[in-house]
Structure 1
Amino acid sequence: MPTLDELRARMRALAQEAEAEVERRRAAFRYRIEKGRVVFDEAARRRHRELRVNLLVFLRATRPMVLVTAPFIYALIIPFILLDLFVWVYQAVCFPVYKIPKVARGDHIRIDRQHLAYLNGLQKLNCMYCGYCNGVIAWVREVAGRTEAYWCPIKHAAKVKGMHGHYPGFVDYGDGEGFADGLAASRNRIRHPKTGEEPDAF
């Protein structure tokens, strides 16, 4: 049976393969990243404009009840902005005290789909909104994961879905003998991550 370290190494290898596949798809869809900006070749941009659905046509094809839900979706922007602000302050104040490297917000919040010419104005707005909200969740998740790894790196008794990448290195539930050493090891891992290493997905 493979050890936990071996499983984590496999997961890292799979992540690298996935990134290589993303690079291949970039070439297939004829775009590149230049100074953080997406650049399509002219033929791709022209085809994208041909594929764009007119906004009025798009709205006419939308079920009325879907339109009714729009205010409920967009009202969430207020708590998301507040969450973004409060976690930014928390990290700025607390992480230097704990000697934990700060989580780069820009690594998680990507708002770039509005550059796709095959989307109409409303679709672009929706994509910007989703990119922001899901990015905030991903960023907050990593901030919270590092916080948990610092204060309480103990696995739960029952299986938990969708845990952050630091969770596999936590101390086993009920391992009282190993807790002190496990806590020290967990704090050392988040304070001194290996260069370029991201926590494994779990």
Structure 2
Amino acid sequence: MTSPFERLRDLLEETRSEIDQDLAERRKRLRYRIERGRAVFDNEIRDAHRAIREKLPGYVLRARPGVILTAPVIYSLILPFALLDLFVTIYQAICFPIYGIDKVRRRDHIVIDRHRLAYLNGLQKLNCLYCGYANGLISMVREVAARTEHYWCPIRHARSPADPHDHYPEFLDYGDGDAFRTQGRKPREDLRKDR
């Protein structure tokens, strides 16, 4: 019998497939294609993008003072992000091979490509680089943490998390001591089967 978690996981995969199809249709409409992992626009579209790019001085002058004053606060997070990146990279390089867990690939999470859009000015491109790195890093760290949790403590919580990671449906039920005693290693073995 299929569990609600399995049905929802299948539904999520189906939804992701629909999203991919929709993105492919949008790609055609916006007249770009992916070549060697990069988006390539037709020349006339790229020229039209350059024509609508807002000049940097006007962009900065139109910004609200609060936005300008908070920019250093936002960008100051690059230091903790870089440290987090370094520590998580070292962590999984040392621990995951010992546990038999596949390493999380950076390129699957950190996607930096919006800086190539011709309709963005230099500051907008910098902002996009920062956001792509920060959000991709958080996604990567979440997957590293999820694989670690799957290996060490694959037990669901008593109260459902707001956005459980993809491994969560495979976890054992909260409070089911018998299942933990008899199946406690199964989630760990399932994680290793993906290798």
TM-score by length of 1: 0.91
Alignment pair present for 1:35 and 2:36? yes
Tell me how far 1:133 sits from its aligned partner: 0.6
Corresponding residue for residue 102 of structure 2:
101
Corresponding residue for residue 125 of structure 1:
126
Query: SS of the counterpart of 2:185?
Result: helix
Tell me how far 1:38 sits from its aligned partner: 1.5
Corresponding residue for residue 159 of structure 2:
158
C-alpha contact 1:49 1:118 (8 A) present in aligned 2: yes
Corresponding residue for residue 56 of structure 2:
55
C-alpha contact 1:153 1:182 (8 A) present in aligned 2: no
Root-mean-square deviation (Å): 1.5
Distance in structure 2 (CA, Å) of the matches to 1:163 and 1:42: 43
Alignment pair present for 1:183 and 2:184? yes
Runs of 4+ in 1 over 6 A off after TM superposition: none
Corresponding residue for residue 110 of structure 1:
111
Larger mean Cα displacement after TM superposition, 100-109 or 3-12? 3-12
Identity %: 53
TM-aligned CA distance change 1:181 to 1:124, over 3 Å: farther
Task: Look up the equivalent residue of 1:21 and give its one-letter code.
Answer: D
Task: Look up the equivalent residue of 2:132 and give its one-letter code.
Answer: G
Corresponding residue for residue 21 of structure 2:
20
Alignment pair present for 1:73 and 2:74? yes
TM-aligned CA distance change 1:27 to 1:176, over 3 Å: same
Query: SS of the counterpart of 1:129?
Result: helix
Task: Look up the equivalent residue of 2:149 and give its one-letter code.
Answer: E
Distance in structure 1 (CA, Å) of the matches to 2:26 and 2:183: 41
Distance in structure 2 (CA, Å) of the matches to 1:110 and 1:102: 17
Distance in structure 2 (CA, Å) of the matches to 1:60 and 1:66: 11
Corresponding residue for residue 138 of structure 1:
139
Corresponding residue for residue 200 of structure 1:
none
TM-score by length of 2: 0.94
Distance in structure 2 (CA, Å) of the matches to 1:23 and 1:6: 26
5+ residue gaps, structure 1, are 195-202
Corresponding residue for residue 89 of structure 1:
90
Tell me how far 1:3 sits from its aligned partner: 2.7
Task: Look up the equivalent residue of 1:156 and give its one-letter code.
Answer: H
Tell me how far 1:182 sits from its aligned partner: 4.0
Task: Look up the equivalent residue of 1:87 and give its one-letter code.
Answer: V
Tell me how far 1:25 sits from its aligned partner: 1.0
Query: SS of the counterpart of 2:157?
Result: coil
Distance in structure 1 (CA, Å) of the matches to 2:194 and 2:19: 22
5+ residue gaps, structure 2, are none
Higher helix share: 2
TM-aligned CA distance change 1:50 to 1:181, over 3 Å: farther
Tell me how far 1:180 sits from its aligned partner: 3.5
